Amino acid sequence: MRPIIHCILFDMDNTLIEIPDTHSYFDGLIQEVIAKDFHLPMPSVESRDQLWRTGDDFIQVLKSWGIESYKQFWHFFDKRDVIGRKKLMQDGKMQLYPDVLHFLEKMKKKSVSMAIVTNTPKFIAEPELQEFNIIRFFDYIAGLGDIQELCKPNPEGILQVLNHLGYRASETIFIGDSVVDALAAARARIHPILIRRKKKIPKFPKELDEKSVLFLDNLTDIHDYFQIIGKQEIINEQSN
């Protein structure tokens, strides 16, 4: 029997909206902040990549580069990210994935509760969702980058969203595109789903059993594994 789901949480970038050449884009921002804002020697690409993989230890990574204030680092990073995203959108280089709009419309008709849980700060995430006209589908937008300590793979941000929406982890799925998404969902005891989006998923940490993660090529396949029931369907069942 397929698990019954009432709530869907989504990552944003490269799950719903494509950022082309993602690694180069974000690594470029890191390099600009280090060189132009802090005027420090450039860490190796391996060390820069570690910032995204290290999870809760990101502060130590920044300190190893000579950056004592992680809040100052993310302040500069976000300022440059805003400029970069605006240019990508103006140039038509950021795109909504083709399966997204139909899936969101279908879930909205069923009155399924949906929320965005992204490591991007809210002041960046909301204009991006508005630009692609999909902010209207979501009951809640959690920009975890507003409080960096809550960012995935820390599950606390996800748990706060569930508490706000009033759903249990067992009746929720988390849809993302990265190991960080899957790890955060698993720590929150939510069903993790990774949409491959034509890219290779990196090696999983020992903490996360790869067999517990559902890999799909697109959103439309989710119905093959879960029975998604929205509020309206519940009301209809209770009235019969």
**DSSP code at position 216:** E
- If we measure between CA atoms, which residue out of 5, 222, 17 comes closest to residue 101? 17
Q: 2 pLDDT exceeds 70?
A: yes
- Rounded mean pLDDT of 184-210? 87
Kindly state the helix (H) or strand (E) to which residue 95 belongs, with its residue range: strand 95-96
Average pLDDT over residues 93-102: 96
Q: Give the pLDDT of residue 18.
A: 96
Residue 57, judged by CB atoms within 10 A of its CB (0-12, 13-18, 19+), counts as exposed
Say what the pLDDT of residue 104 is.
98
The percent of residues above 90 in pLDDT, for the chain, comes to: 81
Token pair belonging to 46: 């391996």
- In the predicted model, what is the mean pLDDT of the chain? 92
Average pLDDT over residues 149-178: 95
CA–centroid distance for 139 within its chain: 16
Q: What is the mean pLDDT of residues 68-83?
A: 96
pLDDT for 55: 67
Note the pLDDT of residue 209.
Answer: 85
- Long-range contact list for 130-139, CB < 8 A, 24+ apart? 131/89, 132/16, 132/17, 132/96, 134/16, 134/96, 134/100, 134/101, 134/104, 137/104, 137/105, 137/107, 137/108, 138/10, 138/114, 139/113, 139/114, 139/115, 139/165
Asked if residue 36 lies in contact with residue 28, where contact means CB atoms within 8 angstroms, the answer is no
For residues 98-105, average pLDDT: 97
In this prediction the pTM is 0.92
Residue 38: per-residue pLDDT: 98
pLDDT of 239 above 60:
no
Give the alpha-carbon dihedral of 212, 215, 220, 222, to 10 degrees: -10
Tell me the CB-side half-sphere exposure of residue 133, using CA atoms within 13 A: 3
Please, is 219 exposed, middle or buried when counting C-beta atoms within 10 Å of its C-beta (0-12, 13-18, 19+)? buried
- Per-residue pLDDT tens over the stretch 24-59: 999 999 999 999 999 999 999 999 998 887 766 889
pLDDT above 70 coverage of the chain, percent = 95
